[in-house]
Chain A
Amino acid sequence: MDKKLKIGLFSFTADEGCMIVLLEILNYKFFEWKDKIDIKFSRLFRSSKDFSDLDVAFVEGTISTPREEDKVKVIRAKSKKVVAVGTCAINGSPTNLRNSFDENKMQEIGYVLKKFDLYPKIKSVKDVISVDQEVPGCPMIEDGFVKVMEGYMKEFGVI
């Protein structure tokens, strides 16, 4: 069988809008990419929880709990390339609303932060790990994603 680009799709704290945009990109790219990409990990597509040995991990969202921080570090360690997709992953916005809350609002949400072990200040993916590429936009810009994906297909000798 021909070589495929092994990818994983990961969503951290956010609205999953970038993954929805990816599903829209697949409206016109699915059959072109089908035999060139192996979606090894994606909760939207399949039950497998194995994300070891990925060529490229696409990560959306922000890091708002210690558990998420640990997981994104494992993803970094296990993947050859990591791409931050969308502004949440790149700089935390717009999910990081609470980073600019005044004392009053912080007090209101304090007990919930504690109960669910949420960080008072949200971090971006880039605050926690180094990434190889970024796809900006909220949601991410379609053409930007396609360019990155096809760039890696070339780099990994898939096309």
Chain B
Amino acid sequence: MHQDMEIEIENICRIEGHADLSIKVKNGTVEDVKLKIMENKRFFTQGVRGMMFNSVPSIVSRICGTCSIAHLTCCIESIEKAIGVEPTEQTTLLRKLGMYGLMIRDHAMHLYLFCLPDIFKKDSVLNFKGPEEEKLLKDAFYVKGIGNDLCTHILGRAVHPTFSNVGGFNHIPQQDESKELIGKLKTIREPLLDLIKIFYDSDFEFHRKTTYVALVNDDFSHLEGEIRTSKGEVIQEKDYYNHLSRVVLPYSQAVGYEFEGKDYMVGALARVDLNRKNLHMDTLIDTSEYLKTFPSTNLFHNNLAQSIEMLHCVDRSIDLLETMEFKQEKKPEVKPREGTGVGVIEAPRGTLYYLMNVNADGRIKYANLVIPTSQNQINMQDDIRKLVQDNLDRPKEYIEHEIKKLIRAYDPCMSCASHFLRIKWI
């Protein structure tokens, strides 16, 4: 058993962005765990201050390359609420479709390219060999590609899209392209069921009781609803921040958060745990065996939840594309007005909060953002602490490997987490 040990991991691979980790063990006890988000700050919250409200969504989109659609969508919601704009029903449905597309391509990247190598005990998908692994490699890029097609169809492109703005969409999808896409979406149900089975069969396990937090709604759409927790609390979007406390972690370029003074977790596991009854009927039927896993305290079931969520997004998108008749429509009037608006959505990695304060001229006076990875940072550290403590009799290499697997299972996004600096406002 290790009595005294130091673990330093630099630049953890197969995650989005840069992160280091340092751990100190003394006298057989883990004394210190520091997860250091090393993504350099870019000061978006300062940057957007003074900008016109309608130019801000495309700026904050640049906080994150992989989930730019989430930042764009959440920012638009907060600004629309601030200036009193009500989106049309078609706009809301298009935004839901955009978020479904994002979930499919973002989870596909994470599960196939970042997580599967751990399951198959390989360093990289680039080393995948043999029929099973090669089939999965093919599925990876095929499934991710269809997710990308859905984003492009609805939003113009998958990274920093251009069709969605404050007030609505400036381009409406073509009906014949929708038809083609429905066919493609149907072809990825089978590979997704294979993927779900892999994460269901996986024996990776790590348990530590924590609180799950997610936006819950009746169509599992990531866009609206009320915030619920595994302890039974129900919170309205605009009140969410009142339940959080911001924790400065001096060694990290991102802040951490606590919910009601304790660590908590956001993300696919929280969503599926709290809202699985609202998954699409076809998803519920085809994954009924796997869904018995939930509620679950196994952190690795976050990946199972992600894969089930992908199937749901496919099924919901097929439904919406089959029933919606896209039409050119009159957009609501968009003009500056003084006000404060809160937008809360479920980004791929969990609950995303935007507060925008707009002045009478339409310029941003103040912005506050709470990012999923920041919210998970303390929970991740507490998990790592327990993982190391529970495995002190194992070789150091084993412990390091298990830590990396655990961090990856969270699907953290360091670019997002370190985007800004919040300052005190009087």
> Which A residues lie at the B interface, using CB under 8 A?
11, 13-21, 23-24, 26-28, 30-31, 39, 43-49, 64-65, 68, 94-95, 97-98, 101, 105, 108-109, 112, 116, 118, 138-139
Contact = CB atoms under 8 A, between A and B. Distances in A.
The 3 closest A-B pairs by CB, nearest first: A17-B65, A27-B145, A97-B47
A8 B97 CA distance: 35
Interface string B39-81: 1111110110100000000010011111010000000000000
Given A17-B159, A44-B14, A109 B46 contact: yes
A90 to B, nearest CB: 15
Contact of B159 (A20, A26, A105, A108): A20
B123 to A, nearest CB: 5
A68 to B, nearest CB: 8
Contact of B42 (A11, A44, A95): A95
Given A101-B46, A116-B41, A27 B124 contact: no
A47 B13 contact: yes
A125 B179 CA distance: 43
Contacts of B158: 20, 24
B113 A23 contact: yes
A46 B141 CA distance: 17
Contacts of A14: 42, 65, 415
Contacts of A27: 141-142, 144-145, 148
Given A16-B16, A20-B109, A94-B62, 12 more contacts: A14-B42, A15-B62, A15-B415, A17-B65, A19-B65, A20-B66, A30-B141, A31-B138, A49-B11, A65-B40, A101-B47, A116-B253
Contacts of B63: 15
* Interface residue range, chain B: 35 or more
A46 B126 contact: yes
A114 to B, nearest CB: 12
Given A27-B144, A44-B113, A47-B123, A118 B65 contact: no
A27 B146 CA distance: 9
A15 B46 contact: no
A45 B125 contact: yes
A138 B113 contact: no
B40 A15 contact: no
Contacts of B65: 14-21, 139
A23 B159 CA distance: 11
Interface in B118-168: 123-126, 137-138, 141-142, 144-145, 148, 158-160
Nearest to A12: B40
A111 B66 CA distance: 29
